[in-house]
Amino acid sequence: MQRLCVMGLGYIGLPAAAMLASRGHQVTGCDTDPRVVAAVQAGQAHFQEPDLDMLLAAALTTGRLAAQAVPAPAEVFVIAVPTPLGPGNRADLASVEAATDAIAPLLRPGNLVILESTVPVGTTEALAARLAAARPDLALPRRGFPAPPGCVHLAHCPERVLPGSMLRELVANDRIIGGLTADCAALARDLYAGFVTGRCWVTDSRTAELAKLAENAFRDVNIAFANELAAICEAMEVDPWAAIALANRHPRVAILQPGAGVGGHCIAVDPWFLAEAAPAASGLIRAARAVNEAKPGQVAARIRALAAGLAGGLEPPAVACLGLTYKADVEDLRASPALAIAEDLARDATLRLLCCDPLLATLPPTLAARPGVVLVDVQAALAQADILAILVPHAAFRALSREVFAGRPVVDAVGLLRPA
């Protein structure tokens, strides 16, 4: 059993804290948002994730997990805070730096600091330098050199979980363990081996940082190919899903599915960290980002073109946006292309917007302030809409009979209505 302090109780930090507590560690979760701390103290996750509330309640009942606003002394500190894009599509590391500064006074020789946040290559080394400046009394490791005796150890162990399956993947997925030194990596590997059934792959911190970015850039590039192919199919009057399904019958072809764009906290963000580090060598990554970032605007333009053909009635055409979250059956709105489409349409005074998402109880703030935008259930959306825009293939929409979409214009951005 070790004492751990998890900095950040968001989509990554909270499941990790609850999981570590469930394996017998004494865990203090720290978050700067008092609403998050209060929710965790009450045994409730502040986002939807299967079985997380149950795991959280068990950890609190046993006394293995506590939540508070400030960090606590520990043997292991885990930093799992957001790393969004800042101006110029550059990584905003303010939260990582703030978490590092917060734990610096608590560090003792032999402690382990693990960075789980997805970061640009070299960030773990920068953290070591930042800690060395804040605590000159401590020995800090340097990449490529042996660990000095009694040093504070640092490692980058990037998260690899999928919303909706976080707890299962937290345990089952392989993990990358990137230490500033071999000793740092060994200590981190021993911690993760206590709950991970997948393999822990040990490497250096820079390789771990780049591997995580490469995973998400790979997805982004391949989704961009699918989205570009879908645009070509539309121009050629070919069903993109049918064409892709047939192409994928080739034993060495595995084209992904096109959609309304790319969202979430990883795939829409992390490729920019690579492009930032090597602008001249990242032409393909930048092109993929351009393709995927343009897709929501293209979908919105298709919807407006259909609405223009219906204009002239007593009321503006009503467009039902089916789905606002960034992916199916997850309530996460971060970087959601569906939300971007709805926001685009909401700025058009010639339209009425019916937003329908069974995972949301209220409209997002960017839509709630717009006139002519309402949140409705699926039956009201189907009854009142002049145009149906399928933006997210939620289970509630997949369960609908295909007949309910007949008789009016439909923009199916996600292939919900494609033949089996």
Residues acting as catalytic residues = 212, 266
Query: Would you report the helix, strand and coil content of the chain in percent, each value rounded to 5?
Result: 45, 15, 45
* Phi, then psi, of 411 in degrees rounded to 5: -105, 105
- Cα gap 158→288, rounded to integer Å: 23
Is the torsion defined by CA of 276, 282, 288, 294 positive or negative? positive
- Cα gap 263→406, rounded to integer Å: 29
Tell me the residue type at 308: A
In terms of DSSP H, where are the helices of 195-282? Answer: 205-235, 240-247, 270-277
- Whose tokens are 């407006």? That residue is 304
DSSP notation for 121-136: TTHHHHHHHHHHHH-T
At what angle are helices 270-277 and 205-235 packed, to 10 degrees? Answer: 110
* Phi, then psi, of 69 in degrees rounded to 5: -85, -20
- Cα gap 338→328, rounded to integer Å: 11
CB 154, CB 140: distance < 8 Å: yes
List of long-range contacts for 130-139, beta carbons under 8 Å, 24+ apart: 130/97, 130/100, 130/101, 130/104, 131/100, 131/104, 131/107, 134/101, 134/104, 134/105, 135/104, 135/105, 135/107, 138/107, 138/109, 139/109
Nearest to 11 by CA among 40, 47, 44: 47
Cα 83 to chain centroid, rounded: 11
CA atoms within 13 A on the CB side of 257: 14
